[in-house]
Amino acid sequence: MSEKHSHVHVTPLWVYLAVGGALLVLTGITVAASFVDFTALFGIGSLNFAVAMIIATIKATLVALFFMHLYSDSKFYSLTLLAGIACLMIFIVITLLDTNYRGEIYEIEKGPIEPKAKIYRSAE
Amino acid sequence: MSTQFHVAHHFTDAEQQRESAKLGMWLFLLTEILLFGGVFVAYAVYRVWNPEMFINAHKALDVSLGTINTAVLIISSLTVALGIREIQLGRAKTSWKYLLVTILLACVFLVIKYFEYAHKFHEGQLPGKFYTYEGIVGTNPHVFFSIYFLLTGIHAFHILIGISLLTWVMIRTMKGHFSSEYYTPVEITGLYWHLVDLIWIFLFPLLYLIG
């Protein structure tokens, strides 16, 4: 039992402070970037959305690796998180494949299944 | 100071018990990602159907309040991580102070959220049939606010649960229940708190910064 703590890794203080600082700086960058119209600047559609999501993913990775200790912990926990993200991606992609391309297979316009539903009435 | 704890009979040793508790928490966090995932999917579907409306409707949200709240949550994530570091080093007397700061920051987040909600209630920027605001151009602007209130509402509910859990582990830390030998409840509460922060990291650009 003498090596009971061999797996517990205490992250140095500077790592926490550096990650916290990086997260705050990235927050500033993502807010600043939202005021720049990248889509018009480079002529690529949805570029602003891509920039915002890339920055958010970098921030989330920093939180998961260092605050949640995935960097030093057993890789099994990382696998659990990645499995959750994979399920979410399948959920989003398969749903959008339906809702965005419905009209190209069947003789219907893409849009809500029940456009006359009560929830849409107030807006008309 | 009592640092005694039980190793349940079905575990080989304390290390295995600790790892099992953490794996259980990670599996719970996986289900949390999918809980929020449902609303993220609704967001994706309706944003693709109503791109103009989403861009017009998101201007009703206050970017500066959203940014302040993002910073508050990031700092609270940092303080809970530092609190766990203190207890890993066996310093319970400084650990609970970090947890207290985390709880206070969580309260600041909720107060700011309250002012945002109050403003939207006042303007009638509400979900579904309660929507009465008339300043947004585009189809079905009430759908944006349905998704906004669902995402931020479920998130705020998680903050409330987080405050309760943090208070519980803070009191137990003050009472000396934890040491560098045993601090699993502090650690997995920390994991939960980081996930709440992680979800907000995506909510913030998706709701406040689109366009």
| Contact check, Cβ <8 Å, B202/A60 | yes
At B12-30, the pLDDT tens digits run 888 888 899 999 999 999 9
pLDDT at residue A124, as a whole number: 45
pLDDT at residue A121, as a whole number: 55
The interface pTM score, or ipTM, of the predicted complex is 0.91
**Which of B41, B59, B74 is most worth mutating to test chain A (most A CB atoms within 10 A of its CB)?**
B74
**Listed residue (B197, B173, B196) closest to B185, CA to CA:** B173
B161 — contact with chain A (CB < 8 Å)? Answer: no
| Contact check, Cβ <8 Å, B140/A7 | no
Nearest-angstrom CA–CA distance, B13 and B183:
15
- Residues on chain A touching B126 (C-beta within 8 angstroms): none
Burial class (CB in 10 A: 0-12, 13-18, 19+), B199: buried
Q: What is the mean pLDDT of residues B127-154?
A: 86
Which of B77, B88, B209 shows the shortest C-beta gap to A30? Answer: B209
Residue A116 region by backbone torsions, left for phi larger than 0, else alpha for psi between -120 and 50, else beta? alpha
φ, ψ for residue A66 (rounded to 5)?
-105, -45
| Contact check, Cβ <8 Å, B44/A92 | yes
Q: Which residue has better confidence, B34 or B123?
A: B34
Instruction: Return the DSSP state at B60.
Output: T
Q: Which residue has better confidence, B152 or B135?
A: B152
Cα dihedral value B181, B184, B186, B191, nearest 10: 130
CB proximity list for B156: less than 8 A, separation 6 or greater: B110, B113
Tokens of B94: 């400084």
Nearest-angstrom CA–CA distance, B144 and B150:
10
**In what helix (H) or strand (E) does residue B26 lie, and over which residues does it extend?**
helix B14-49
Instruction: Return the DSSP state at B209.
Output: S
Q: Is 60 exceeded by the pLDDT of residue B168?
A: yes
Contacts by residues A81-89 (CB-CB < 8 Å, ≥ 24 positions apart): A81/B26, A81/B29, A81/B30, A81/B33, A83/B30, A84/B29, A84/B30, A84/B31, A84/B33, A84/B34, A85/B33, A87/B30, A87/B33, A87/B34, A87/B37, A88/B33, A88/B34, A88/B37, A88/B40
**Which of A4, A34, A55, A71 is most worth mutating to test chain B (most B CB atoms within 10 A of its CB)?**
A34
B12 — contact with chain A (CB < 8 Å)? Answer: no
Three-state DSSP at B148 gives helix
Q: What is the mean pLDDT of residues B62-67?
A: 94
**Listed residue (B101, B77, B205) closest to A27, CA to CA:** B205
B143 — contact with chain A (CB < 8 Å)? Answer: yes
B52 — contact with chain A (CB < 8 Å)? Answer: no
Give the pLDDT of chain A (124 residues) as one tens digit per residue: 334 444 577 899 999 999 999 999 999 999 999 888 887 777 776 788 899 999 999 999 999 999 999 999 889 999 999 999 999 999 999 999 988 887 777 666 656 666 676 666 554 4
Tokens of B202: 């995506």
pLDDT at residue A109, as a whole number: 62
Nearest-angstrom CA–CA distance, B8 and B153:
38
Q: Is 90 exceeded by the pLDDT of residue B167?
A: yes
pLDDT at residue B50, as a whole number: 87
Which of B40, B49, B63 shows the shortest C-beta gap to A92? Answer: B40
Nearest-angstrom CA–CA distance, B130 and A77:
43
At B194-211, the pLDDT tens digits run 999 999 999 999 999 986
Cα dihedral value A68, B190, A31, A45, nearest 10: 50
Mind telling me how many Å the CA of B122 is from chain A's nearest CA? 19
The count of CB pairs under 8 A between chains A and B is 151
Residue of B nearest to A25 (CA): B71
Three-state DSSP at B12 gives coil
Q: Please compute Rg for chain A using Cα positions.
A: 22
Nearest-angstrom CA–CA distance, B194 and A68:
7
pLDDT at residue A117, as a whole number: 67
B14 — contact with chain A (CB < 8 Å)? Answer: yes
- CB-based burial, B145-157: b 16+ in 10 Å, e otherwise: bbbbbbbbebbbe
At B76-87, the pLDDT tens digits run 999 999 999 999
